[in-house]
Structure 1
Amino acid sequence: MRSSVLLLLVGISLSFAGKHSLKYIYTSVSGDKNFASTGLVDDVQFMYFDINTKKASPKTEWVKQNEESDYWGFQTRSLKEQHQWILSTIWTESAGEHTYQITYGCEWNDETGKTNVFRQYGYDGEDFLFMDMKRDKWISPMRQGFSLHKRCDNETIRFNYWKNYLEMDCIDTLKKLLKLGKSSLEKTVSPQVSLLQTNSSSPVLCHVTHFYPSDITITWMRNGQELYKDVKVGKLLPNEDGTFQKTVILQTEPEEWRKNEFSCVVEHQSKTFRKTLTEKEIRTNNETAAPVDVTVVVVPVVTLSLLLIISVIVYLVYQRKLKSGYVPAKPSPSGSESSSHSSIVA
């Protein structure tokens, strides 16, 4: 693994303690043969590649300033080969338009030392194949995965390769990235909370945006009690400035929330917010006094999943279901996981 890509900064402790993650996502669409890849550290995008530009590139200054001269060329060649493997292996066996996704990476808690690793494959938004680290085997919950499942089970070297990479090299790379991006990744930005409605009879959205880091809890309360029924939680989505947004929808009749006290409680490491649902607090499409930022769009929950996929393919790349490392993968003996060493490929 080309670990020299990242400069090891000695003597810097992490002041932003807790759980950290390194995640890599490949997304390919069969209909237009689109392919994109993204790398995320603590949900912040630090690298990107798509087959249209045919070039891997850094997305943060702290990565760009600490790269090897040939690093992005190496990334580009590796990802082009991965795209070719998907075209020749996955799409030759699939008719119609489908979405195929590889997600892999690792998590590390710098307080407890606990780690977690994963590598999984998605097909049209459903689990296709994933590594069971405890039982040291591949699992396929879908019929479409059975053929690849059998092949992978017969290739022990492939499983061992990925397990070693994820449990060792991925964790090491995550720690190095955290040190490189310390000043940016440890920032805290308080969320902006708004109650939104398209019209007077529509569901009420508790829209929380422009917060960082991404960990957040959003709860609807009724007369001081947490609500589970008639509440739909949207996906975490990225903003262009590196912050995040999330929406939780309350589906209740106006007469109901006017007779009771409903409130949206937002818990973030920067602050805890409480917005009580009243006519005065709600912003609607007809409101003219305080226009809503274009990033604060009232979107039904059914659309949020689609937006997440699009943001992964276009903006992040999936954006789950759920990756090439800072080095997309530890190079195989031939230098590429999609080379003639097919036992290291999936």
Structure 2
Amino acid sequence: MEIQDGAGRREMLLQITKGVITMHSLKMFYTASYEVTNFPEFVIVGMVDDFQIDYYDSNTKRVEPRQDWMNKVTDDDADFWEWLTERAVVAQHVFKVNLDNLKRRFNQTGGVHIVQVMYGCEWDDETGDVNGYDQYGYDGEDFIVLDTKTMTWVAAQQQAVFIKQEWNKDKAELEDLKNYYTNECPDWLKKYVNYGRSSLMRTNLPTVSLLQKTPSSRVTCHATGFYPNRATMFWRKDGEELHKDVDKGEILPNHDGSFQISADLQLPSDDWGKYDCVFQLSGVKEDIVTKLDKREIKTNYGKTSMRSDEREDLTVTVLFEGLGVQGCSNRTEVSDESSIKVSKSQKTLHLLAISGCGPFRDCTNLGGVHLDVVL
């Protein structure tokens, strides 16, 4: 069944929508940077189902919640945010050392350099399946990745081979990582999803518009304001999906937690009536279909002009995803030129830096995010 875009579409869809959001995710992004102007040297960003839940940077030196419902975590631990801030400050120092180590390993001195890490887990609340991920990047390139199926590290660059070999030797640490990604991380994800259920489990339908700069330019089908971000958009001709002369954009975040997507079509001057744009949202049975009609195109030429609020919708909010190198210790050891020295105490304490277990806390009482090893 298809619902044609137009008056009453949203009301009709709200009545027939069946929200089925089963896959949830917890993602942590760390970024350590060198000589990047107007940007903090160290940033931490936490995300649940693509909602930013917390934030830390080297300027504010404080972890702060980014969703009101994240304050519920203090029901279990009143000083959670203070404790997390202490761990983040320690991690900030270690990340600086890690960045220095990588610059030396790549024989670099000055210039802009960035270390990134993304790690976290996914949980399907219908099947119970969980999956983890842990990956490092340096200066925009993959560096080393944890294969969570085999629990082995895989080097993406020659400079990471030695690190891979050392990390793969530590079976105890790999076992800790396995427990984190199969148990601890999903447990915290479930707790966070429960905190923010009213926001995370909602379904928002988009506003769909047809846009064109000039009569000879591509026609853009643009949908904005939808949630969740599991959606797709494509062009059809005579009911068949088109691949030629179509440029599909990525799903991008809006400032309010919703998402936007677009698809461009380069079409002949005739046969406009044969084309339509289709938007599909996870959990919604019916497609939103927008017929290609010259009268409906919003443009900055001719009589129709794009309103300022519509132009705002097209402004993409780019999240600089803070990733980073993981590791912290009471005493950080800087490796020599030929190797990266990793001690068990560093890795273990690094697990404690932002996660909830260790000598300072009981794993069963507090947790959240995980860090594994220092470079």
Classify the secondary structure of the residue corresponding to 1:249: strand
Aligned match of 1:276: 291
- 1:24 aligns with 28
Counterpart of 1:76 in structure 2 is 85
CA 1:91–1:207: 2 relative to 1, 3 Å: farther
Alpha-carbon offset, residue 51 of structure 1: 1.6
Q: Which amino acid aligns with 1:267?
A: Q
RMSD: 2.9
Q: How does 1:259-270 map to 2 (within 5 A)?
A: 261-268=274-281, 269-270=283-284
- Aligned letter for 1:59? R
Deviation digits for residues 20-64 of structure 1 (CA, Å, limit 9, x no counterpart): 111111123322362211111111111111222111111111111
Rg comparison, structure with higher value = 2
1:330 Cα deviation (Å)? Answer: 4.4
Write the mapping of 1:214-293 to structure 2, written as runs, cut at 5 A.
Answer: 214-250=229-265, 252-255=266-269, 258=271, 261-268=274-281, 269-270=283-284, 272-286=287-301, 287-288=304-305, 290-293=307-310
What aligned pairs does 1:1-346 form with structure 2 within 5 A after superposition? 17-32=21-36, 34-67=41-74, 68-94=77-103, 95=108, 96-250=111-265, 252-255=266-269, 258=271, 261-268=274-281, 269-270=283-284, 272-286=287-301, 287-288=304-305, 290-297=307-314, 308=318, 311-313=319-321, 317=322, 328-333=354-359, 344-345=373-374
2:142 maps to a residue whose letter is D
TM-score normalised by L of structure 1: 0.78
Instruction: Number of aligned residue pairs: give it.
Output: 307
Shift of 1:151: 2.9
Deviation at 1:333, TM superposition (A): 5.0
Secondary structure at the counterpart of residue 38 of structure 1: strand
Kept after mapping to 2: 8 A contact 1:332/1:344: no
CA distance in 1, matches of 2:174, 2:290: 49
Name the SS for the 1:66 alignment partner.
Answer: helix
Shift of 1:105: 1.0
Verify the 8 A CA contact 1:207 1:296 in the aligned structure 2.
no
Q: What is the alpha-carbon distance in structure 1 between the residues aligned to residue 113 and residue 247 of structure 2?
A: 27
Gaps of at least 5 residues in structure 2 are 1-18, 325-349, 362-370
TM superposition shift of 1:148: 2.7
Amino acid at match of 1:255: S
Distance 1:93 1:111, change over 3 A: closer
- The separation in 2 between residues aligned to 1:157 and 1:211, in whole angstroms, is 44
Deviates further, 286-295 or 44-53: 286-295
2:332 equivalent in structure 1: none
Residue 113 (structure 1) shift: 1.5
- Cα distance in 1 for residues equivalent to 2:89 and 2:213: 44
1:225-284 Cα deviation digits (max 9, x unpaired) = 11223333323222222211122233x24526x456222100123452111223222222
For each residue in 1:69-106, what CA deviation from the matched residue of structure 2 results, as whole angstroms up to 9, or x when unmatched? 22112221222222222211124432332332111111
Q: Which residue of 2 aligns with 1:6?
A: none
The amino acid that maps onto 1:86 is F
- Give the distance between the partners of 2:215 and 2:43, measured in 1 at CA: 41
- The amino acid of 1:179's aligned partner reads N
Q: What's the CA shift string for 1:188-231, capped at 9, x where partnerless?
A: 21111112222223222222111112211211212221122333
**Structure 1 residues 159 and 31: alpha-carbon distance in aligned structure 2, compared to 1, 3 A threshold:** farther
Q: Helix, strand or coil for the counterpart of 1:55? A: coil
| Deviations 1:84-140, CA, capped at 9 Å, x for gaps | 222111244323323321111111111112111111112333322111122221001
Q: 1:99 to 1:187 in 2, by over 3 A?
A: same
3-state DSSP of counterpart to 2:186: helix
Q: Give the Cα separation in 2 of the matches to 1:277 and 1:333.
A: 63
Q: Distance in 2 between matches of 1:161 and 1:89?
A: 22
Pair 19,86 (structure 1): closer, same or farther in 2 beyond 3 Å: same
